[in-house]
Structures are given as C-alpha cells and as structure tokens.
Structure 1
Amino acid sequence: MERLDEVGTLCDLTHMPSVETSLVIDASADAIWKVLTDFASYDAWNPVVKKARGRASVGADLDFVLQIGPIKAPIAARVVEADGRELRWEGPRVRALSPIARGSHYFRLEALDETRTRLVHGEDFGGPVFALPWKVLGPQLEKSYAALNRALAREVERRDR
C-alpha cells in the first residue's frame, strides 16, 4: 500500500521504518547494563528518555517522557526483554493506539572483550503515524539516539572511575 507523504513523495506503508545506531563503549556489558537499567537516574544523564519510572523485568510497566529535539511525548510501554544483554520495551500499552502508532525500542549489548562492549540501540516502528513524516522524523531520531548512546558511555565511564 502506498500513500503520499506531506512533500508529495510515495511512502510504502507495508515496510515500516526503523532506526538503529551503535557505539563501542570502553566498559564491560555488566557495567553498561547497571546504568541502562537504573531508570531512576535517567534524568541525570539521558538526553532522550526523561522521568523514567519502572523496572527492567519482563512484563513490567515503564513510563517516561521521550524528548526528541523540542518535542516531548509521554510514553507508556511494557518491558518485553531484560536478560542482561538486551533491554526491549514496546508501546503503547493502550491497545487502542497500537494500530495507529507503536514502537519496539531496544538496547543490545555485545561483549567484544572484558572491557569493551558494542551497544546496538534502535527502534522498530509501526502504524501510519510514523510512515508519513519519516523523512523528517527518521534523521532526528537517529541523531537523538546517537546522543543517548554517547551520554550512556560517559555515564558508565563516570561510574566506573
């Protein structure tokens, strides 16, 4: 199915957009996991996910404010993976909104050795809300997620001192 986006180009609604970023961090996967799952500390270091409340356990509710540039959006998600190497949450929890807009946000930790880990951070999106403005939203999300990665690395290194 194809539709016109706001600049008049075709976008394919059968292939929903995604963003994936990565960064090698000079720390163990365990050290990164501790910071990544410490939601209460996100306000101190995280430029994208603010006011996070919840637990990093499968089935737990996670509430936060997503800040992408000047836009702030309250998010109600559910943790679907939390095994020490991958943290993934999906939202919205309100099922009525899922056909319109949904996301599966993930962080994967790939140990390169005992002191270096590749962080793979991204999100898979679904629903027509994301398909139409993707040419504007996609690059902004990628930039914001990369900034989150760098902030996470700084926070892990700060705590490791």
Structure 2
Amino acid sequence: MARFILHETIINASVDEVWNELIAIEDWKWNRWTKLKADNPTEGVKGKLLASFEGDDTWKEYDFTFGRVSESEHLLTWMGGAGPKDCLFSGYHTMQLEEMDDSRTKLIHREKFGGILPAIGLGLPFKTLDRNYLLMNEALKHHVECK
C-alpha cells in the first residue's frame, strides 16, 4: 500500500518567474524544510537531500537522485529509497507548475511513498511531511509574490 501527499497552491506570478525560483535549488532560502544538494538539477544526477522536519535548522540527510526535470513542462522530480530494490522505503517527489494565465501559476506538489515501512506507517513522520509540503508551497508563494 502506497502513501501519498498532495498539495496545490495558486501563486500570483508568471509560470516562468515561479520556475526560475523553483529550479534554483542552490538558492532555496525560502525553504526551511528541504534542501537539495547536487551539482545541478538534471535527470540522473545524485545528491543529498537535507530534511528539517520542524523547520528549525536540525537536518537529516538522505541520498536522492533527480528524476525527470523538464523546463518545457515546468517539472522537477527526485527520488530516493532504502533496502534492496527500495523494498523497505521509496519516495518519488514531484513539483510541477501549470500556467493558469499570464500572472497566475498552479504549483502541484506531491510525493508517492512505497515499500514495506510506509505500508505499515513507519519510516518517516508522514503527518509532519504533509504539513511541511504545504508550508513549502506557502513559503514559495510568499517568496515569489513579495520579490
């Protein structure tokens, strides 16, 4: 049984403005919950994901690999896992932008968790992650709209 998190947020800015902030992973000052440390956001590039479950600068480190990254689709994905063939845990994270009109963008932020641990409710604090992904959306919205 997989677990899912999904949040959608309307940002009052053009899709290109939001994309430029989202893809600039080295400059995620707006994000107190997740940092992606990698050479560049390109499919197949491996890196370290830093997670602060309480947004308090206490970080846990996880390995990840970028999945599909597409400027034309405004899509940024990454994944990670544990155990043989990720049987204990897997996560597939997606942040995608949809242009609503010239000055509004929908951010669709989701993650699908698989493996034995999420199926039995273990591995990560899923309620906290659900809250944090919403907070990430709101922080990106605030950052872009207040520039």
Deviation at 1:123, TM superposition (A): 0.3
CA 1:95–1:137 in 2, change beyond 3 Å: closer, same or farther? closer
Secondary structure of 1:45's aligned partner = coil
* Other-structure match for 1:90: 79
Deviation at 1:97, TM superposition (A): 6.5
* Other-structure match for 2:31: 46
Deviation at 1:50, TM superposition (A): 2.8
Counterpart residue identity of residue 63, structure 2: A
* Other-structure match for 2:52: 67
* Other-structure match for 1:25: 11
* Other-structure match for 1:151: 139
Q: Does residue 106 in structure 1 map to residue 80 in structure 2? A: no
Deviation at 1:127, TM superposition (A): 1.0
Q: 2: distance between equivalents of 1:78 and 1:146?
A: 22
Q: 1: distance between equivalents of 2:78 and 2:22?
A: 13
CA 1:28–1:95 in 2, change beyond 3 Å: closer, same or farther? farther
Contact 2:88–2:115 (CA under 8 A) maintained in structure 1: yes
The structure that has the greater radius of gyration is 1
Unaligned residue ranges in structure 1 (runs of 5+): 1-14
Deviation at 1:95, TM superposition (A): 6.6
Aligned residues: 142
Deviation at 1:86, TM superposition (A): 1.0
Give the TM-score, by structure 1 length: 0.78
Secondary structure of 2:135's aligned partner = helix
Root-mean-square deviation over aligned CA pairs: 2.2
CA 1:52–1:156 in 2, change beyond 3 Å: closer, same or farther? farther
Give the TM-score, by structure 2 length: 0.85
Unaligned residue ranges in structure 2 (runs of 5+): none
